[in-house]
Amino acid sequence: MTFDRHGLEQCSRVRDLVAIKLAELDERLSELRAFRRSLVGSLRECDAALAGQRDGECPVVALGAPRRLAPRRGALTRERLR
């Protein structure tokens, strides 16, 4: 199969769009991995608190934790899923 000049230009534009989408996906995957690490840490803190290794209130509910666990702007939330 051969491409004429128009076909090559069109293919080049599509290739650029695919490359952009892949870069966006890589960024999102990186954000999701970081968020997962944060959730794993919170789970460990809760497990430690429930096992009696910590005193006081829930470590995830403690001040400062909601910012760390806040979803990214535009992320899916329970309200958006309804």
Secondary structure, 3-state, the chain:
CCCCHHHHHHHHHHHHHHHHHHHHHHHHHHHHHHHHHHHHHHHHHHHHHHCCCCCCCCCCCCCCHHHHHCCCCCCCCHHHHC
For 7-46, what is each residue's pLDDT tens digit?
A: 899 999 999 999 999 999 999 999 999 999 999 999 998 8
pTM: 0.60
pLDDT band of 56, cuts 50, 70, 90: confident
